[in-house]
Amino acid sequence: MSTETPASQLHFIGQIVRDDLASGKHSVIHTRFPPEPNGYLHIGHAKSICLNFGLASEFAGTCNLRFDDTNPSKEDVEFVEAIQRDVKWLGFGWAELRHASDYFEVFYRSALKLIRDGKAYVDDLSAEQMREYRGTLTEAGRNSPYRDRSVEENLDLFERMRAGEFADGAKTLRAKIDMTSGNINMRDPAIYRIRKVHHQNTGDAWPIYPMYDYAHCLSDALEGITHSLCTLEFEDHRPLYDWCVDNVDLKNHPDLWQPLVDAGLSTAPSKPRQIEFSRGNLNYTVMSKRKLLTLVGENLVDGWDDPRMPTIVGVRRRGFTAASIRLFWERIGVSKQNSIIDMSVLEGCVREDLDAAAPRRLGVIDPLKLVITNLDAGHNEELTFPNHPKDESFGTRSVPFSPELWIEREDFAEVPPKGFHRLKPEGEVRLRGVGIVRCDEVVKDADGNVTELRGTLDLDSRTGMPGSERKVKGTIHWVSARHAIAAEVRLYDRLFDVVDPDDDSDGKTYKDHLNPNSRRVVQGYVEPAAAGATREDRMQFERLGYFVADIADHTADRPVFNRVVTLRDSWAKQQ
């Protein structure tokens, strides 16, 4: 292991890991990323992915991908496959692929042990009654009337639960801890419930399923996880995490996990340490899976991979790079202080990555025709342009040029505002890579709309000519109309028009704050080299922003580009 400390290890969790290795508490660290397969991952999950896999990699440890599939009614194989793709796309691989369902028999045996030890009991209270008995933050809970059932009765009832004898919700298995505890999570929490639902991995074998707090900690212990990293809302759950690990005591009861050995899933149980860190929250968006599911289910967006969504599949389709997301979370760091991060910080990381990695191309998204009248109508030539102005290793390309060009409509003003340095009547501007052109005539339609410009090119201002150094204040880009390829261009912006869509203090919900201008589709033109891009190729359309060939819809004969980000933060001026 390198003696130089990576920047991403300078946070408090990195320090804990370093100290544990230095003291000999652990010889190798083992982390895990444990998503529930009940939806698509979002940018906030990427923080946990980068942290867990990143620490394992930097400290020469291992990291498992484990699906917390204990609630099959909300889970789907589609989500399982999407999560694996997302983790791989972000640049990480897992030591082992596991599922909580791999351990169902161990969980069951462990529950039997707790019952035999007098530390768990079968309860007949309904969910509503359990909430009533639990008490409040200021009032202690009350013991269930079923709390003092004998060990024999509890074993009998739990085994009958396992056999499917009782209806959903009729009984639960609860840990027997302390109904007067100041921590509500310790007031005899449920650890098993009856749920007769088909499971994607185990079929109909189990009519009972373990609760998250019970299954998660035992899964960590079974996999030999050393550092169980989770977000701050689980801090109050840590005493229950430790209680389950300590009282089941897998390490000293190998009979409990013998089924894993028999199944070829080697294990060496550990006592993991749960460590909490702050969530990754961004402004101008929502991160709640429930709200994201509503957006998709009510067709308020175009699916989980809508480029406006904060899902990983969404930002990937938008054109964000895996490297920029990793860079973003590395810069944000890891702390115990919850905060909301400005979206512009993420967009800045995307710009930084693409500025170095994206080749340049010419494209026009709001076309206005410019005809150069002092060139023959059949004039045609190929100009050589660099693919990247800052990196010669990108090479060069040929760009066709002809007398009829498409320019950006906003690059012409009939009545220019103060400080306007682009094309205007009788004004001059430099055509990128060509020379200086003068606007001689403005053509309008019957309604007075400008439909075409006509002008003359100063031939003496072309590259290699005596007047090539003549100065004009503005430079504009263009595409040869004769050679241009028509393209659909999708201009994406932030999905919500307020900083905190979750804030309902104004009486409105997040759905009321959807930005009506978050998606605009225009028909533009691009040079042939841009049209020839393959799906997910990213490039900068000079002067316009960074764009990506759509991962689903782009073809060479029907190009479709998504705007990734503008060249500058267009929202900064609005705040």
Q: Which two tokens stand for residue 355?
A: 């500025």
First to last CA, the chain: 46
Backbone φ and ψ for 385, nearest 5 degrees, come out as -120, 145
Q: Which residue has the tokens 């707090």?
A: 213
**Residue 572 marked in a binding site:** no
Per-residue model confidence (pLDDT) at position 572: 57
pLDDT at residue 1 is higher than 50: no
Give me the mean pLDDT over the 129-136 stretch.
Answer: 96
pLDDT at residue 253 is higher than 50: yes
Domains 278-362+485-575 and 364-477 in one fold: yes
**Residue 492 marked in a binding site:** no
CB 48 within 8 A of CB 173: no
SS3 21: helix
Catalytic annotation, residues? 36, 279, 289
User: What is the spatial distance between Cα 569 and Cα 351, in angstroms, rounded to a whole number?
Assistant: 10
**Residue 102 marked in a binding site:** no
Average pLDDT, the chain: 94
Share of the chain above pLDDT 70, in %: 97
User: What is the spatial distance between Cα 474 and Cα 1, in angstroms, rounded to a whole number?
Assistant: 54
Per-residue model confidence (pLDDT) at position 393: 97
User: What is the spatial distance between Cα 246 and Cα 218, in angstroms, rounded to a whole number?
Assistant: 10
pLDDT at residue 6 is higher than 70: no
Give me the mean pLDDT over the 415-419 stretch.
Answer: 93
Per-residue model confidence (pLDDT) at position 467: 82
**Residue 510 marked in a binding site:** no
C-alpha dihedral, 68 to 73 to 74 to 76, nearest 10°: 80
Starting at the earlier edge strand, list the strands of the sheet with 360-361: 360-361, 538-541, 545-549, 560-565, 485-492, 519-526, 363-364
SS3 157: helix
User: What is the spatial distance between Cα 173 and Cα 120, in angstroms, rounded to a whole number?
Assistant: 7
**Residue 527 marked in a binding site:** no
**Residue 508 marked in a binding site:** no
SS3 15: helix
Closest to 493 in 3D by CA, of 359, 340, 343, 354: 343
**Residue 36 marked in a binding site:** yes
Give me the mean pLDDT over the 214-218 stretch.
Answer: 98
Closest to 102 in 3D by CA, of 215, 204, 198, 192: 215
Per-residue model confidence (pLDDT) at position 213: 97
**Residue 211 marked in a binding site:** no
Per-residue model confidence (pLDDT) at position 464: 84
pLDDT at residue 3 is higher than 70: no
**Residue 46 marked in a binding site:** yes
pLDDT at residue 177 is higher than 80: yes
CA distances from 379 to 438, 482, 544 (A): 18, 11, 28
pLDDT at residue 462 is higher than 60: yes
SS3 labels along 363-379? EECCEEEEEECCCCCCC
User: What is the spatial distance between Cα 516 and Cα 502, in angstroms, rounded to a whole number?
Assistant: 18
CB 348 within 8 A of CB 572: no
Give me the mean pLDDT over the 22-29 stretch.
Answer: 95
CB 461 within 8 A of CB 471: no
List pLDDT tens digits, range 485-541.
999 999 999 999 999 999 999 999 999 999 999 999 999 999 999 999 999 999 999
User: What is the spatial distance between Cα 89 and Cα 101, in angstroms, rounded to a whole number?
Assistant: 25
Per-residue model confidence (pLDDT) at position 573: 53
**Residue 555 marked in a binding site:** no
pLDDT at residue 8 is higher than 70: no
**Residue 42 marked in a binding site:** yes
Query: Any idea where the domains of the chain sit in the sequence?
Result: 7-277, 278-362+485-575, 364-477
Per-residue model confidence (pLDDT) at position 570: 65
**Residue 379 marked in a binding site:** no
The architecture in CATH of the region 278-362+485-575 reads Beta Barrel (2.40)
pTM: 0.92
Taking residue 509's Cβ as centre, other Cβ atoms within 10 Å add up to 12
Per-residue model confidence (pLDDT) at position 5: 47
Amino acid code (one letter) for 497: D
The DSSP result for 517-573, as a single string, is TSEEEEEEEE-HHHHTPPTT-EEEETTTEEEEE-TTT--SSS-EEEEEE-SS-TTGG
CA distances from 368 to 206, 246, 365, 438, 532 (A): 66, 73, 10, 15, 23
List pLDDT tens digits, range 32-65.
999 999 999 999 999 999 999 999 999 999 999 9
Q: Which two tokens stand for residue 494?
A: 């932030």
List pLDDT tens digits, range 269-285.
999 999 999 998 999 99
Taking residue 502's Cβ as centre, other Cβ atoms within 10 Å add up to 17
User: What is the spatial distance between Cα 204 and Cα 101, in angstroms, rounded to a whole number?
Assistant: 12
Is the CATH code 3.30.1280.10 the one for domain 364-477?
A: no
Distance of CA 7 to the CA centre of its chain: 22
User: Where do runs of H (alpha helix) occur along 143-265?
Assistant: 151-162, 212-222, 238-248, 258-262
**Residue 407 marked in a binding site:** no
DSSP state, residue 203: B
Q: Indicate the CATH number of 7-277 among 3.20.20.220, 3.50.50.60, 3.40.50.620, 3.90.1720.10.
A: 3.40.50.620
Per-residue model confidence (pLDDT) at position 364: 98
Per-residue model confidence (pLDDT) at position 2: 41
Residue 66's pLDDT band (boundaries 50, 70, 90)?
A: very high
* CB proximity list for 149: less than 8 A, separation 6 or greater: 121, 122, 157
CB 205 within 8 A of CB 261: no
User: What is the spatial distance between Cα 296 and Cα 310, in angstroms, rounded to a whole number?
Assistant: 12
CA distances from 144 to 22, 79, 122, 129 (A): 47, 38, 10, 9
Contacts 24+ apart (CB under 8 A), 373-381: 373/403, 373/440, 373/454, 373/455, 373/456, 374/456, 374/457, 374/459, 375/403, 375/457, 376/403, 377/403, 379/403, 380/482
